[in-house]
Amino acid sequence: MAKINNYLSMIKFAHSIFALPFALTGFFMALYINEVQFDYIKLIYIVLAMVFARNAAMGFNRFIDRNIDKDNPRTTMRELPAGIIKPQAALIFVIINSLLFWAVTWFINSLTFVLAPVALLVVLGYSLTKRITALCHLILGLGLSLSPIGAYLSITGAFDHWAPIALSFAVLFWTAGFDIIYALQDDEFDQGKKLYSIPQTFGRPKSLFISRILHLISALLIILSGFLFDANYVYFIGSAIFIVFLINQHRIVRINDLSNVNMAFFTMNGLASMVFGLFSIASFYIR
C-alpha cells in the first residue's frame, strides 16, 4: 500500500480533478446533442483512458525533470529526486500506462484508437517544452483540452459540432492561465537553469496580466460553448460560478505575495472544474 501511495503522490493523482469534469461534460454533451442513450461501459472506458493518459504524462514529467527537481528547493523532496522511486521504475510506469491508454481506446472506437498516439505525443511532449519555449503553458493546456473533445469523439466518432471544440479551447486557455500563476514560484530558479516560462520571460506583472487575458478568453469560450448547443440556465449558472472562481484566484495572488499560489492553483481551479462539471451535466437533464 505504501508503494502505491508513493506512485499516487508522484503523479499528484488528486489533480485529476482538473480535467475529469470536463471530460464528463464532453461525454454527456455528446449524448445530449446526438440524442444517444447513456452507455455506462463507454463511460468507464473514458474514465480509464483519462486516468492512464494522465498517469503517463505526470510520470514522464517527473522522470524527465528529476535532475531539475533535485536542484529546486521547492521540489527536492519529490519521489524521484528523494530516491523514493527509482527512475527506471518511473519509466516503466510511464510505458505501462501509455500502453494501457492506447489499449482502452481500441474498445472505444476506431477514431480514438487512431488519434491516441497523437494525444500521447502532446501530453508526454509537454514535459520537454519548458526547455525550448515560454509557450509551454499552452502546450500543457492543449494536453488537458483533449479531455472534453476526446470524450465527445468517444460517443460520436466524428467532429460534428462546434460546442465541444469551443469547450476544449476554453480548457486550453484556462489551464495555461493557472499554470502561469503556478510558475511564478519558480521564475528565479528557471532563470538560473535557463528554463523557459512566461514568468521567467516577461516577469511577474506582465505574466499575471497574460494569465488574466487567457482566463478572460476561457470564460468567453465557456459561454460560447453553451450558446452553440443551446444550453439552458443551469449551464450558464455553472459557467458564472466557474468565472467567479477564475476572478477570485487573481484576487488572492499578488506580485509580491505568492503565499496563496497553491490555493489559487489547486483549491480554486479544482472547485471551479467540479462545480462547472456538475452544473453542465445537470443542464442536459433539467429542461
pLDDT in tens, 116-161: 999 999 999 999 999 999 999 999 999 999 999 999 999 999 999 9
Q: 36-81, pLDDT tens digit by residue?
A: 999 999 999 999 999 999 999 999 999 999 999 999 999 999 999 9
Residue 237 has pLDDT above 90, yes or no: yes
User: CATH number for the domain including 229?
Assistant: 1.10.357.140
Among the residues of the chain, which ranges form H helices? 2-10, 20-34, 40-64, 66-71, 87-106, 110-129, 136-156, 163-183, 187-193, 198-202, 204-228, 233-252, 261-262, 269-283
Band the pLDDT of 2: cuts 50, 70, 90.
low
pLDDT at 51: 94
pTM of the predicted model as reported, rounded to 2 decimal places: 0.95
Residue 240 has pLDDT above 80, yes or no: yes
Residue 262 has pLDDT above 90, yes or no: no
**Quick one: average pLDDT of 185-196?**
93
pLDDT at 258: 84
For 257, the 3-state DSSP assignment is strand
Residue 163 has pLDDT above 90, yes or no: yes
Q: Give how far the C-alpha of residue 222 lies from the chain's centroid of Cα atoms, to the nearest Å.
A: 15
Residue type, 167: L
Residue 166 has pLDDT above 80, yes or no: yes
Band the pLDDT of 17: cuts 50, 70, 90.
confident
Residue 158: which domain range? 2-283
pLDDT at 233: 97
Task: Supply the mean pLDDT for the chain.
Answer: 94
Residue 227 has pLDDT above 70, yes or no: yes
pLDDT at 33: 96
Residue type, 231: A
Residue 197 has pLDDT above 80, yes or no: yes
What's the domain count of the chain? 1
pLDDT at 15: 73
C-alpha cell at 101: 491508454
